[in-house]
Amino acid sequence: MDLKELESGVDPEIHWYYQSKIQPLIAYTRHLLKTVPKLTIVDVGSGSGFFAISLEKLFPGQIGKVYLVDINYTPEEIAATAGTKIEKTLAIPPQIENSLVILMDVLEHIEDDLGMLRSIKKNSQGANHFFITVPAFQSLWSGHDDYLGHYRRYKIPTLRSVLTKAGFNTHAAYYLYGSLFPMVWTVRQISNLRKQEATSNMRPFHPLMNKVLLGITSLDMKLARANKLCGVSCVAQGQV
pTM for this model (two decimals)? 0.93
- pLDDT at residue 4 tops 90: no
Band of the pLDDT at 9, cuts 50, 70, 90? confident
Sequence-ordered strand ranges (E) for 153-221: 169-176
- pLDDT at residue 1 tops 80: no
Q: 33-53 burial, b if ≥16 CB within 10 A, otherwise e?
A: beebeebbbbbbbbbbbbbbb
Please give the Cα distance from 126 to 119 (Å, whole number): 15
Picking from 121, 144, 145, 142, the residue whose alpha carbon sits closest to that of residue 132 is: 121
Please give the Cα distance from 53 to 46 (Å, whole number): 10
Residues 6+ apart with CB under 8 A from 103: 44, 45, 130, 131, 132, 133
pLDDT in tens, 169-218: 999 999 999 999 999 999 888 888 887 666 677 788 899 999 999 999 99
Supply the pLDDT for residue 210: 95
User: Cβ(168)–Cβ(239) under 8 Å?
Assistant: yes
Please give the Cα distance from 74 to 89 (Å, whole number): 9
Mean pLDDT rounded to a whole number for the chain: 94
pLDDT in tens, 67-106: 999 999 999 999 999 999 999 999 999 999 999 999 999 9
pLDDT in tens, 122-161: 999 989 999 999 999 999 999 889 989 999 999 999 999 9
Band of the pLDDT at 59, cuts 50, 70, 90? very high
Supply the pLDDT for residue 172: 98
User: Cβ(100)–Cβ(151) under 8 Å?
Assistant: no
Angle between the N-to-C axes of helices 113-123 and 156-165, in degrees from 0 to 180, rounded to the nearest 10: 50
| % the chain with pLDDT above 70 | 95
Band of the pLDDT at 2, cuts 50, 70, 90? low
